Amino acid sequence: RMDRATMKLTLKPVIDYINGLYGEGKWLAIYGGDPDDFKEDDPYSEKSIADTGFLMRVLADEFKVRIVATQCDIYADYFFAEEGGLSPCYSHLKNGAALLFKTTIRLNEAQMKEPEYGGFDAEGNLVGASRLWFSAAIRKFVRFELAVGGGPIAQNNLEQCLFGNPNAPDPESL
């Protein structure tokens, strides 16, 4: 079980390394836009497993890393609370930003429609947030990549980092 103290301890050598390369406060973390709805105090909750949203909150709160969340445009409202300001699930974006991309839809294995959040489509083309992250317009600013996550999008992004993709979009096609 990953709590805040364990996450901080685990991240510290990585953050120290990146800060040593680029300088404290001179870099940011960009991720897929998951909310931080982790419940540290309820081990029986379905939200008791630390995820990327929680990781980003720890980076922002404990290490003062600026965070950029990517998200498809149909979910843009999720960043905001009903009473205004950021939703508590996105408090880690306080000194960061949200990067929205146009939602595209695919049919999943069950033939149900769902947004393409990222990774590769069936033809090997980048989709969703991955299409932004790996565009030439963004890549010229990337100096370091840290792969986290375990799903198919994370796997596709790691493959892209390691091996590239001839189907990566040109900046003008975004």
Supply the pLDDT for residue 72. 93
Does pTM top 0.95 for this prediction? no
Residues 6+ apart with CB under 8 A from 7: 50, 54, 55, 58
> Is pLDDT above 90 for 96?
yes
Q: Among candidates 163, 92, 166, 87, which has minimal Cα distance to 124?
A: 166
pLDDT band at 125 (very low <50, low <70, confident <90, very high): confident
Supply the pLDDT for residue 41. 64
Question: Which of 74-78, 96-100, 122-126, 148-152 is the least confident region?
Answer: 148-152
Supply the pLDDT for residue 93. 95
Supply the pLDDT for residue 73. 94
- The two tokens of residue 138 are 């963004």
* Distance of alpha carbon 158 from alpha carbon 28, whole angstroms: 18
pLDDT tens-digit series, residues 32-86: 888 887 766 665 555 556 788 889 999 999 999 999 999 999 999 999 988 888 9
* Distance of alpha carbon 67 from alpha carbon 59, whole angstroms: 8
Question: HSE (CB half, 13 Å, CA atoms) of 173?
Answer: 12
More confident call, 151 vs 105: 105
